[in-house]
Amino acid sequence: MSEQKERLIVTVQQHILQQQQQFPDAGGVFSWLLSGITLATKMIQAKVRRAGLLDILGDAGEVNVQGETQQKLDIYANEAVHHCLGIRDSVAQLVSEENEEPRSFDGREDAKYIVVFDPLDGSSNIDVNVSVGTTFAVLRRSAGAKGPEAALQPGHQQVAAGYVVYGSSTILVYTTGRGVYGFTLDPAVGAYVLSHDDIKMPPHGDIYSVNEAYIDDFPDVYQRYITGLRRGTFGRRYKSRYIGSMVSDFHRTLLKGGVFLYPPTHSHAEGKLRLLYEANPMAFIAEQAGGKAIDGRRRVLDVQPHSIHQRTPLILGSREEVETFERLRDEG
C-alpha cells in the first residue's frame, strides 16, 4: 500500500457547517446563506470563463451608481447574487455596489442577516482577460432595522467576509472570525475544495502594490512611504506589482505578504475603494490572517460608515509594512 497520505477532500459546504457550530442560534441558516453566495459565484465564473465566446464582453452602455460604465458581466454577476441570495429568507437586505439603494424584502421581519457585496470587482479588466473578483460581507441585522442605516455598521461587526478571484483558477477565500480558509473550484465536480487551510499572511513581504501613476496626487506621507519602499530605505528591497483588480492584488498580498494601498488622490479625496463591500471584507480577512488594515489614520474595521457607498483610503498587508507607514506618519 503506497504511503501516499489520503488527502481528505473538504468542500466549502462541509467547512461552513463545521464553522456553523459557532453560530448556535443560526441553526443551519448561516450555512444556507453562505451556500447562496458560493452558488452565485459558480454561476459568475461559468460566464467569466466564456466571456470571449458569449456576447457579454464589453460595456452594456449603462452607468452604475458609482458613475462607472457597467460591463455586461457586471450586470449578470449582480443579478446572479441577487437571485441566489434573494431566495434565502434569512436575508433581510442586500447592498450591492451596482445598486444605489439597498434591496429589502417584505415579510421578512425575522430575517437576521444583511449581505453587502461587489458582484464583479475589477470589471474594467474583463475585456483584456485580467482576473476579476466578487467580494462580500455578512452583517447581523439589528431587530427592526430597516433602510440603508441597517447596513451602516463598523467592519468589526462583520459576521463573515470573503471574496472569489476568477483567475487562473477560481478561488474562494472566507473567514467567519475563526481564521482564513481558501477553496479552489474543481470544475470536474463543480465543488469548492479546501486548498488553503488556515491562511497566515507573512509578517513582512517584498512586494508593494499601488498605482504609482498617481504618486504626485498622493498626500506627502504616502509619497515618502512609496519612495522609501522603492529605494529600500526601510531596510528591505521590494518589487512592485499592480494588477488594478483589488481582489487579485489583495489575494497575492494575503499569500505572499507585502502591502497593497489605494491612497487619497485629488479626484478621490477619500480614496477610490468602497468601505462596506471592498475595504471591510479585505480588512477582516487581513487581520484574521495576522496582517493589518488601516485607512491611513486608524483601523479600517473601526470606521463608523455614514453611507453605504462611501469610499475609504486603504493600506493593508503584512504587519511590518503597515507599521512602517504608521511610524512614518507619526514622525510627522
Inter-helix orientation angle 72-86/29-48, to 10°:
160
Q: How far is the CB of 213 from ligand P6P (least distance, A)?
A: 8
Distance CA 322, CA 204 (A): 9
Instruction: Write out the H or E segment, with its range, that includes residue 40.
Output: helix 29-48
By beta-carbon proximity to ligand P6P, the closer residue of 150 and 278 is 278
By beta-carbon proximity to ligand P6P, the closer residue of 153 and 209 is 209
Enter the DSSP assignment of 311.
B
Distance CA 284, CA 275 (A): 12
Side chain identity at residue 7, one-letter code? R
Q: How far is the CB of 86 from ligand P6P (least distance, A)?
A: 24
By beta-carbon proximity to ligand P6P, the closer residue of 114 and 246 is 246
Q: How far is the CB of 249 from ligand P6P (least distance, A)?
A: 6
Site residues (vs ligand P6P, CB under 6 A) = 121-122, 124, 211, 244-246, 249, 272
By beta-carbon proximity to ligand P6P, the closer residue of 45 and 176 is 45
Percent helix, strand and coil across the chain, each to the nearest 5: 35, 25, 40
- Provide DSSP, 269-305: TT-SSBIIIIIHHHHHHHHHTT-EEESSSSBGGG---
Give the torsion through C-alpha atoms of 322, 139, 97, 282, to 10 deg.
Answer: 20
Nearest to 282 by CA among 63, 136, 104: 136
Q: How far is the CB of 132 from ligand P6P (least distance, A)?
A: 8
Q: How far is the CB of 245 from ligand P6P (least distance, A)?
A: 5
Cα angle 275-276-277, degrees, rounded to a multiple of 5: 105
By beta-carbon proximity to ligand P6P, the closer residue of 45 and 64 is 64
Classified as helix, coil or strand, 169 is coil
Q: How far is the CB of 215 from ligand P6P (least distance, A)?
A: 12
By beta-carbon proximity to ligand P6P, the closer residue of 191 and 246 is 246
By beta-carbon proximity to ligand P6P, the closer residue of 111 and 243 is 243
Q: How far is the CB of 171 from ligand P6P (least distance, A)?
A: 16
Segments of 176-267 assigned E as strands: 180-186, 191-196, 207-209, 239-240, 259-262
Q: How far is the CB of 108 from ligand P6P (least distance, A)?
A: 31
- Provide DSSP, 80-122: HHHHHHHT-TTEEEEEETT-SS-EE-TT-TT--EEEEEEEEET
By beta-carbon proximity to ligand P6P, the closer residue of 111 and 172 is 172
